[in-house]
Amino acid sequence: MSDILTDIRADGVATVTMNRGDVHNAFNETVIADLAEAFRRLGADPAVRLVLLRGTGKSFSAGADLSWMQRMAGYGHDENVADAMGLAVMLRTLDTCPKPTVAVVQGPAYGGGVGLVAACDIAVCADTASFALTEVRLGLIPAVISPYVVAAMGERACRRYFLTAERFSASEAHRLGLVHEVVPAAELDAAAETMVAKLMEGAPGAQGAAKDLIRAVVNHPLDDALVRDTAERIARQRASAEGREGVGAFLGKTRPGWQNR
């Protein structure tokens, strides 16, 4: 059976499932490449409205597979860079997916698993889940995942958890902003479906444009170029078919087409 499973429901909800529960969904170069391809393909599929990311078994993802790490230890510099770029590209593909992405975290997420959670737009997790950035205990650093984890948790929290490698709870992950909702384990699937329902209310094109907007304004100075860019963006959206349909439906007290699919 494949290490990565994908499924698309009739309503356009796609699920990517890491199917290596026996090794806590740890990933190697093959799993990373398969994840990247899945995110790329689903992001380009007009039938897909949003993407859920899950893991089988007790863990969401334990990060890097030990046998993969052993092989990497024998690589030279150039080989290590090429190998690390695979993970970097996969995370960027997830981060820039034009569809909303939701991590459904049923169990521990460590190392690169935290990176997967942070690269998703939204994360919901069971109250029994735990998190850790354990790289320094192995003499390594969480380099490739750092842009997403720092953006999610903030620099100050990363100064602690990157350096101590200590485990932290679901409630602490929520406090730090790594996850958005924490629910009892038995209610995780229901919480994920509630989030799906909320996302399905939005216009698909507008959601993709909103994600692109965030990337455009984060850490950008509030200069004339940014002011002009934001004005151009809303002007394009107002004039788009979605924008016209959405405003017309609101004024006419009807439902836009994307809510009836």
Residues with Cβ within 8 Å of residue 17, at least 6 apart in sequence: 4, 5, 6, 7, 53, 54, 55, 56
Which residues are registered as beta bridge partners of 67? Answer: none
Closest CA to 233 of 211, 252, 257, 209: 209
CA distances from 156 to 163, 218, 258 (A): 11, 18, 40
Q: Up-side HSE of residue 252: CA atoms within 13 Å toward CB?
A: 9
Residue with tokens 């393909």: 41
- Could you count the other beta carbons within 10 Å of the beta carbon of residue 112? 24
Closest CA to 54 of 100, 113, 99: 113
Radius of gyration of the chain (CA): 19
Q: Report the C-alpha gap between 192 and 171 in whole angstroms.
A: 17
Instruction: Please list the active-site residues.
Output: 135
Residues with Cβ within 8 Å of residue 67, at least 6 apart in sequence: 28
